[in-house]
Amino acid sequence: MENKVRIKTLKSRPRFKVYTKASKTELINTIKIQLAIHNKEIGGYANQEFAMVRLRREKEKYWAPQLQIRWEIDEEHHNVTVVRGVIGPRPSIWTMFMFLYGLSGALFITLGTYSISEYYVTGSSNWIWVIPSAILLALGTYVASKIGQHISKDHLAEIYKFIDQVFNDLDFYEDKKM
């Protein structure tokens, strides 16, 4: 029976944290070996600080997720390596969505407050249309993100499979009790 890495699923950016007795060098070599094995589907790199795993450029779509893996030696147990991973969209896409959410919130709060105040003082406001527009922008951004998650679910499955294969080559634990 294969041991699988349990991924805590925050819908937008699933993450995991595991512990292993493998050294950083062993972990890096294992990731590089798995990248070489899966080089038709998955590309990436691993250096001394972290690893980045994503779909090959020719298979990658706009919504394709990527995996960032970071590792460090545990402070309490020096023979244990703590490995953390986050799966999410490319930083440019993540930034765009956060900008759109922030913009809709800023429009709703600032111009919405102004338009409501103007409406109560003068009886009419030309800025009242900002409130439904900000709500529509936030809803549109949310719907677009859900569509993107649905489109990229097959890519996410490939990354999950890659994670499991990397950590099946290493002994890993979900918590510090070793």
pLDDT per residue over 24-57, tens digit each? Answer: 888 888 889 888 888 888 888 888 888 998 887 6
Specify if 48 maps to a domain.
yes
Looking at the fold, whether 145 and 156 belong to one and the same domain comes out as no
Q: Are 85 and 69 in contact (CB under 8 A)?
A: yes
Same domain? 80 vs 157: yes
Predicted confidence (pLDDT) at residue 165 exceeds the cutoff of 60 = yes
For residue 81, is it within any domain?
yes
Is residue 178 in some structural domain? no
Tell me the pLDDT band of 1, cut-offs 50, 70 and 90. Answer: very low
67: CATH: 3.30.310.80
Contacts 24+ apart (CB under 8 A), 70-79: 71/24, 71/27, 73/24, 74/19, 74/176, 76/176, 77/176, 77/178, 79/21
User: How many domains, in total, are found in the chain?
Assistant: 2
Residues 22 and 84 placed together within one structural domain of the fold: yes
Residue pLDDT, tens place only, 102-112: 999 999 999 99
Note whether 69 and 43 are same-domain residues: yes
Report the DSSP pairing between strands 66-73 and 42-46.
unpaired
Note whether 21 and 76 are same-domain residues: yes
What pTM value is reported for the model?
0.72
Q: Which domain holds residue 107?
A: 93-149
Structure confidence at residue 147 (pLDDT): 87
Q: Are residues 46 and 104 in the same domain?
A: no
Residues 77 and 108 occupy one common structural domain = no
Q: How far apart are CA 145 and CA 73, in angstroms?
A: 35
